[in-house]
Amino acid sequence: MALEIRTLPCLSDNYVYLLHDAASGETAVIDVPDAAAVEAGLKAEGWTLNQILLTHHHYDHIDGVAALNAANKLAIIGHDADAKRLPKLSSALNEGDQVSIGQEAGEVIEVSGHTIGHIAYHFPASKALFSGDSLMVMGCGRLFEGSAEQMWASLSKLMALPPETRVYSGHEYTAANAKFALSIEPENKALIERVKQISEARARGEDTMGSTLAQEMATNPFLRAGLPQVKALVGMEGAPDAAVFAEIRERKDNF
């Protein structure tokens, strides 16, 4: 049975995710910007929290950990390389390690670029990827600490996951990301249709999380930096993929 996933908005544009295994009753949360939002979500579902899975050290992903843990005494899991910048960890993991929620195992993937030591969690049976601020829906995170080469390598790992994998990222930036994507590929028919769908969803007050990796690879300019047609559109025919990615990232920074 796949994990039940609940998307909880908090702060101005953050998301946290509750992951629940119905058979065991175990529940985890991905990142904790705000403890109250998590507690309200748990109460609404009638779930008991067991563990916190952290993606990276930025305050808008960890600020609620202390308050949440004080009430619940939870297992706190994060990347060993980032342990000094995270709340005190119960388990410090590395790429290739696994986490478990009930009977489902999740894979830890290092995705440095936005920060050094950023990790994502992939749950194959539930076809779900929790990517924090690495791969965003229709975008990717700014390069605050890592290089373009590091981020391109990280995104390439994620592109190798099954195409039906659903992407759950840390922020609701999708509409702005989609507008930028059109500046790179204005004639991409799949992108034009997706921009329309995103606009309609946001007008209804819906979140835009859970797009498939296949959709991202067809419309997200940061995942398309290796394609000849995209290289041509940015005037970099024949350039290395990572260099084209760097150009697209710089354009987004100044968009």
Secondary structure of 183-205 as H, E, C letters: HHCCCCHHHHHHHHHHHHHHHCC
- Alpha carbon 110 to its chain centroid, in Å, reads 12
- In the residue annotation, 58 being an active-site residue is answered as yes
- In the residue annotation, 20 being an active-site residue is answered as no
- Active-site option among 20, 61, 79, 122: 61
Q: What are the backbone dihedrals phi and psi of residue 246, each rounded to the nearest 5 degrees, phi first?
A: -60, -40
Rg (CA), the chain: 18
- Active-site option among 21, 34, 56, 122: 56
- Active-site option among 34, 82, 133, 241: 133
- In the residue annotation, 57 being an active-site residue is answered as no
- In the residue annotation, 61 being an active-site residue is answered as yes
- Active-site option among 60, 80, 97, 207: 60
- In the residue annotation, 133 being an active-site residue is answered as yes
Please list, in sequence order, all residues whose beta carbon lies within 8 angstroms of the beta carbon of residue 184, skipping any fewer than 6 positions away. Answer: 221, 230, 233, 234, 248, 251
- Active-site option among 20, 58, 79, 122: 58
- Sign of the torsion formed by the C-alpha atoms of 10, 139, 245 and 247: negative
- In the residue annotation, 118 being an active-site residue is answered as no
- In the residue annotation, 122 being an active-site residue is answered as no
- Active-site option among 114, 118, 122, 241: 114
Distance CA 69, CA 54 (A): 13
Which residues carry out catalysis? 56, 58, 60-61, 114, 133, 171
